[in-house]
């Protein structure tokens, strides 16, 4: 995962770096080092973010009510 991909995944989740730190249990300065390229992004990070993105997708699909003006066949 590149620093840009990491940043894009956080944006897609609506998370700030602090949110990621809290959810993943990492030190608050760690993502900054990843984004600047000072430290490599560990292999577990894209897996963690992909799972979070999938949970968000499922939540948005099945839990969040449709917005007004959108029609559902359900």
Six-digit token string for 29: 């300065």
Residue matched to tokens 């969040």: 64
How many C-beta atoms surround the C-beta of residue 9 within 10 A? 19
Residues 18-64 have pLDDT tens digits of: 999 999 999 999 999 999 999 999 999 999 999 999 999 999 999 97
User: What's the pLDDT band for 71 if we cut at 50, 70, 90?
Assistant: low
The reported pTM is: 0.82
How many C-beta atoms surround the C-beta of residue 45 within 10 A? 20
End-to-end C-alpha distance for the chain, whole angstroms: 38
User: What's the pLDDT band for 67 if we cut at 50, 70, 90?
Assistant: confident
């Amino acid at each position: 995962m590149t620093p840009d991909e990491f940043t894009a995944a956080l944006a897609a989740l609506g998370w700030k770096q602090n949110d990621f730190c809290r959810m993943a249990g990492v030190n608050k300065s760690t993502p900054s080092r990843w984004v600047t390229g000072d430290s490599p992004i560990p292999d577990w990070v894209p897996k963690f973010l992909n799972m979070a993105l999938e949970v968000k997708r499922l939540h948005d699909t099945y839990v969040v009510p449709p917005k007004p003006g959108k029609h559902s066949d359900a």
